[in-house]
Amino acid sequence: MSAAHTWRLVGPWYRWPRPGHPDDGRVAPPAIQKFAGADFITRFLAEPQRSLQYDEQIDVVQSHDLVPARGLSGKLATLFALDARGQPLAKGSPETAYRARLAPGALRKLFQSTHDRHYLVCCELHCDEPGFPRVARQRVCQAGFVLRRRRSVLPPGLDAAAVEAQAAPVRHAEADWLDLCTLQATAEDAMLTAAQRDAAARRLDDLAAQAGLPDGASLLASRRADLARQRQGFVDWQRAQGVRTEIDGWFPLGHGSSVRRGEWRLLDAVAQAADITSGEQTYPLHALVPDPRLPTHDAAGRCFWYGVVPTQDLQHDVQGQPHLDDLHTYELRCFVRAHHDCPGRRGLQPDCHGPLTWSRATEAFRLAPHFDVQGSANRPVTIKMPDLRDLAAQAAARPRGRLSPVRFVQPQHLSPKELGGEAVCSFSIPLITIIALFLLNLFLPVVVFLFQVWFLLAFRFCIPPQIKIAMDVDAALAVTPPGVDFEADLEVQAQGLADSAEALRKLFLEGGDDSPQTLVDRIHEDTGNDDEIHLDDLDNNALASIGQNFADAKALAPAADGGLQPPEVGEVLLEEPHVDPVWSPRRSA
């Protein structure tokens, strides 16, 4: 074999529809594999196909769908609801109130390394001949990949509003499907009570019966198939309208490893397959050479390559816009260069200018922002607040300043009246932590109320103390959504229970029929503080938030020490199932 144009750079055999079958491999694009943990390279080298599964609800770019907020009235409706444009609905507005639902799309999302997610692009090199034999690794002069940006260009006469109108039904179907998946997950969640699971299962079966299907599993399968058809229909519509995709390549400005500036340039069809010596930024592919003593290794008998997918860097253009962000869509293309027939240049990489072979583009993807809620949850952080009694004892036992290691040097001392000279102040880390938490708790309700973003309270989860109150208090709190400012005449009804905010407040102050002890009494008992507590002045939003905490705590499983077991955070890690090749690899002649 002497002509490199007969080479095929394709995805790894275990990601082909029929693992290892040549007919499937010839058109397979390189695969982007997902991993967790800092030792992902070591684990990949040992068993390449052992990567994590992509979750079809989490590892995708998500949007939101607006639906009418039925069953809500007055202040409750305007608190959470949006108008038809997705903006907060003004109080007293006659417009129909809408609420937002999450709609997971089909576009892949890659998380950041700070989210404990890492990605490798993997490919194999074969000869495009009968049997699809591998290429000898020694014949490859250079291997790498490029990261390119995709942009959709609308034809004349087609505006963004028309595209949005065409995409709206797809998002609605995505949100409906997610609602069903959430209902099924609730029915199978072992952390919930049997009554909660049974209620979710009955609701799922009722929806299936309304659709004329035997059970919830059939309903989910039907909705999934409908969603796939709608997504394909949207793609076909774009193609029929003449929507095209343009590809940009990143070209660094300058030379050397310290270059941080560059620019995106449009690549035409010729430039996309041109020689990489044109100046486009490349990333290396590394050869995976398995231990010859392991004949069953996934890369045994194959010309296997992999590279680390960049999800962040420090490069930017001349306007200061970052090279990589969460707003644009990207793709990867791998390449290999064959050794030229002439002698190579010693000590240079590449050592010759042999012909280039490109792979197909990988699946398109976007990058998650650094503060992505789902990504950040993959790295739980526990901060143990200091015990004030211990701090008091330690402060009394040590000279002043001995426990203050954080030093602030102020060239000009700031005072309310005038600037003074240099000042040096030392602080203890527990003091800084306590003040920071105090400010968070102080300003959280201010920000939530000022900007009417009550839904942000859902991102705060507190396990309340084990306060024993009447069961009717617990039942009333369990149906109280977070952050709702209930009017006294607004009834909260669920499963036959009807209580107004005034009745709820009365239970806090006077107790119930089953227990004469009030919340005020329990606070006095637990804290030893006999100061008068005016719960009647407590805002209803605080009562509702406390109620949500009690409801969340009720759903928690008991821990071994008799307390409450916190819920799981982050994504559940599931590995791709192991597959065996249906066709043994053949060596190149």
Which helix (H) or strand (E) element contains residue 468?
none
**Parallel, antiparallel, or unpaired for β 140-153 and 329-338?**
antiparallel
Are 84 and 130 in a shared domain?
Answer: no
> Are the beta carbons of 300 and 294 closer than 8 angstroms?
yes
Say if residue 159 is in the same domain as residue 144. Answer: no
Alpha carbon distance 579, 49 (integer Å): 8
Determine the pLDDT at residue 271: 74
**In this structure, which amino acid lies at residue 76?**
L
- Residue 57 has a pLDDT of 93
Distances (CA, A) of 101 to 39, 171, 182, 209, 322: 37, 9, 12, 24, 30
Residue at 535 is within a domain: yes
Residues for the chain: how many in total? 589
Q: Could you tell me if 223 and 180 are in contact, meaning their C-beta atoms sit under 8 angstroms apart?
A: yes
Asked whether residue 403 falls in the same domain as residue 362, the answer is no
- Measured in whole angstroms, the distance separating CA 405 from the mean position of its chain's CA atoms is 37
Centre a 10 Å sphere on the Cβ of residue 11 and count the other Cβ atoms it contains: 23
What is the distance between the alpha carbons of residues 338 and 344, in angstroms, rounded to a whole number? Answer: 11
Query: Is the distance from CB of 460 to CB of 552 less than 8 angstroms?
Result: no
**What is the rounded CA–CA span in Å between residue 565 and residue 553?**
9
Whose tokens are 């695969």? That residue is 31
376, 407: one domain: no
Q: Is residue 586 a part of any domain in this protein?
A: no
- Candidates 406, 428, 548; CA nearest to 478 is 548
Q: Which domain holds residue 65?
A: 60-107
Q: Of 405, 421, 452, which marks where a domain is finished?
A: 452
- The per-residue pLDDT for 400 is 74
507 is a domain residue: yes
SS3 sequence, 173-222? HHHHHHHHHHHHHHHHCCCCCHHHHHHHHHHHHHHHHHCCCCCHHHHHHH
Q: 582 in a domain, yes or no?
A: no
Task: Give the residue ranges of DSSP H helices in 242-344.
Answer: 269-272
Q: Which two tokens stand for residue 586?
A: 């053949």
- Examine the domain organization and report whether 478 and 506 are in the same domain: yes
Find out whether 448 and 80 touch, Cβ atoms under 8 Å.
Answer: no
Within this chain, do residues 270 and 347 fall inside the same structural domain, yes or no?
yes
From CA 483, how far away is CA 389, in angstroms rounded?
Answer: 33
Q: Is the same domain home to 125 and 187?
A: no
**393 CB-contact burial (10 Å; exposed 0-12 / middle 13-18 / buried 19+):** exposed
Residue 8's Cβ-count burial label (10 Å; 0-12, 13-18, 19+) is buried
Give the single-character DSSP code of 26.
T
User: Is position 589 within any domain?
Assistant: no
How far apart are the C-alpha atoms of 555 and 551, rounded to whole Å? Answer: 7
Shared domain for 356 and 485, answered yes or no, is no
Long-range contacts, stretch 89-98, CB < 8 angstroms, 24+ apart: 96/68, 97/68, 97/69, 97/72, 98/66, 98/67, 98/68, 98/69
Same domain? 167 vs 268: no
Question: Which of 338, 353, 380 is the last residue in one of the domains?
Answer: 380
| Other CB atoms within 10 A of residue 33 CB | 24
Residue type at 468 in one-letter notation: K
Cα–Cα dist 31/22, whole Å: 16
User: Do both 474 and 387 map to the same domain?
Assistant: no
Same domain for 315 and 182? no
Written as tens digits, the pLDDT of the chain (589 aa) is 344 458 999 999 999 999 999 999 999 999 999 999 999 999 999 999 999 999 999 999 999 888 776 644 333 434 455 666 666 655 555 566 677 788 999 999 999 999 999 999 999 999 999 889 999 999 998 999 999 999 999 999 999 899 999 999 999 999 999 999 999 998 988 777 788 889 889 999 999 999 999 999 999 999 999 999 999 999 999 999 999 999 999 999 877 656 789 999 999 877 777 777 678 999 999 999 999 999 999 999 999 999 999 999 999 999 999 999 999 999 999 999 998 766 655 556 666 778 889 999 999 999 999 989 899 989 888 888 888 888 888 888 877 778 888 888 888 776 666 667 777 888 888 888 889 988 888 888 777 767 767 667 667 766 554 433 333 444 444 444 433 333 333 333 333 333 444 555 555 556 555 555 565 665 566 555 566 655 444 444 444 445 555 555 555 556 555 555 666 777 788 899 999 988 777 665 4
* CA–CA separation, 370 and 120 (whole Å): 19
Q: According to the model, what pLDDT value does residue 501 have?
A: 47
Residue 432 lies in a domain: yes
Query: CA 331, CA 363: separation in Å to the nearest integer?
Result: 6
Question: Distance between the two ends of the chain, CA-based, in angstroms?
Answer: 8
SS3 of residue 587 by DSSP: coil
pLDDT at 82 (0 to 100): 61
In one letter, which amino acid is 571? E
422 alpha-carbon distance from chain centroid = 46
Neighbours of 263 (CB within 10 A): 16
Question: Has residue 18 been placed in a domain?
Answer: yes
**Neighbour-count burial of 219, counting CB atoms closer than 10 A to its CB (0-12 exposed, 13-18 middle, 19+ buried):** buried
- Let me know whether 18 and 124 are in one domain: yes
Domains of the chain: total: 5
Q: Which of 399, 422, 452 is the last residue of a domain?
A: 452
SS3 13: helix
